[in-house]
Amino acid sequence: MFDGIINPFYFIGTQWQMFIEWFLVQPLLAQIIIVAGVFTLIAGTIILVYYIVKGLIYVLSHLFKALYRMLKALAKGIYNLFKKFYNLITEDTIKPKEQKIVYYNINKEIKVKTPRSNNYSLLVDASKVKFCSKCGRKFSKTVKDFLNSRGSAYCDKCGKKYISQTRTIEMES
């Protein structure tokens, strides 16, 4: 008995020997019932183990799926957080550019679309301006000559007045 505790294989061996000795002295019917009982026990154990393993796999797979979703959401959250930080850091360098574009567009709109400005004469660089900002007509040679010689001219098509910037500066100085 003391040896059995120390060596479990020896303990199982003696138990098995005791069982065989006991089994052999039993009557035939009892032997058949015992064998059937052992097989039922083995089959029952196999079925039980099968369902336990199946259940374990089911639970584990759902656990891993949940874990995967959780990690994915976490990764996405961290990514968005870093993106926000990145935008926050780079915002200062990006914003002035955007503002420049906006201002430019506003200026363009005021010059081209505001009706009031069209009624006033527009200061232009005579050497660079080629088209009327109101109607879009290309300036004829006469208009350009007038701009250069007199310092002012009217559009052939719409009559908008243009004043040469260079002439104005020259006259002022």
Residue ranges that bind Zn ion, judged by CB under 5 A? 132, 134-135, 137, 155, 157-158, 160
Q: How far is the CB of 157 from Zn ion (least distance, A)?
A: 5
Nearer to Zn ion, 69 or 150 (CB): 150
Residue type, 24: L
**Cα–Cα dist 110/118, whole Å:** 10
Q: 17 in helix, strand or coil?
A: helix
**Cα–Cα dist 155/129, whole Å:** 12
Nearer to Zn ion, 102 or 112 (CB): 112
Q: How far is the CB of 107 from Zn ion (least distance, A)?
A: 20
Nearer to Zn ion, 86 or 131 (CB): 131
Q: How far is the CB of 110 from Zn ion (least distance, A)?
A: 18
Are 156 and 143 spatial neighbours (Cβ–Cβ below 8 Å)?
yes
**Cα–Cα dist 121/41, whole Å:** 108
Q: How far is the CB of 155 from Zn ion (least distance, A)?
A: 3
